[in-house]
Chain A
Amino acid sequence: DTGVSQNPRHKITKRGQNVTFRCDPISEHNRLYWYRQTLGQGPEFLTYFQNEAQLEKSRLLSDRFSAERPKGSFSTLEIQRTEQGDSAMYLCASSLPELGEKLFFGSGTQLSVL
């Protein structure tokens, strides 16, 4: 068990470019979550998957954001036509119902949009 893995750790991009982040949850964790955290704020919920099904999605997740978990294992979060306001830490977490409410978070991907 190596924990939740997120790649890349840092991403710098120019405004208008597309970016994709990857999250590898703890193996056998069927629940996966994406959160966004800006400086001085707590994480904000973006979306939730149970296996490959996206069951909950925040209104924060505009049309430019899309998340997938095609085989119920790793997940990707894509941001199209990035804007400076997208600059944030993107956190992934996973869990298993048997573990109760405990989410296991990754170290995050820090996105900077120039």
Chain B
Amino acid sequence: AQTVTQSQPEMSVQEAETVTLSCTYDTSENNYYLFWYKQPPSRQMILVIRQEAYKQQNATENRFSVNFQKAAKSFSLKISDSQLGDTAMYFCAFRQGGSEKLVFGKGTKLTVNP
């Protein structure tokens, strides 16, 4: 079974600085997708960024980028120029090709300090 591990339960960063959240996963499959979701205190999960395993180029979305290391099964999220609104739980998630099931990690609580 696929597993997703987020080794940092909590992190904090100063406003305008950069922070990196770690995620590792375990799978024997070659066709899969990786995601970072954000869950602010209002509770609605929001997709931050996604990465297809077959793409070597790291995905970027404005201030958010990933470092996808397929051989190491690592998928970290970098947030640049952190903003107070980035304060939230961040979940790394995995989806195997052919399945609609997302497997989530336990999450990292990020606090952006003014």
Interface residues of A (CB under 8 A from B): 3, 31, 33, 35, 40-45, 48, 55-56, 58, 89, 91, 93, 100-103, 105-108
Contact = CB atoms under 8 A, between A and B. Distances in A.
Contacts of A58: 101
Interface in B1-19: 4
Given A91-B45, A102-B47, A107-B43, A42 B99 contact: no
8 contacts: A3-B44, A55-B100, A56-B101, A58-B101, A93-B45, A102-B50, A107-B42, A108-B43
Given A107-B44, A108-B43, A31 B106 contact: no
A105 B44 contact: yes
B79 interface: no
Interface string B78-94: 00000000000001010
Interface residues of B, number: 22
Nearest to A58: B101
A33 B103 CA distance: 13
A31 to B, nearest CB: 7
A91 B93 CA distance: 15
Interface of B: 4, 33, 35, 42-47, 50, 91, 93, 95, 99-107
Contacts of B104: 42-44
Closest 10 CB pairs of A and B: A42-B104, A105-B45, A48-B100, A45-B101, A102-B47, A42-B91, A107-B43, A43-B104, A101-B50, A107-B44
A21 to B, nearest CB: 15
A105 B103 CA distance: 15
A35 B102 CA distance: 9
A27 to B, nearest CB: 18
A96 B33 CA distance: 17
A48 B101 CA distance: 8
A43 B43 contact: no
Contacts of B50: 100-102
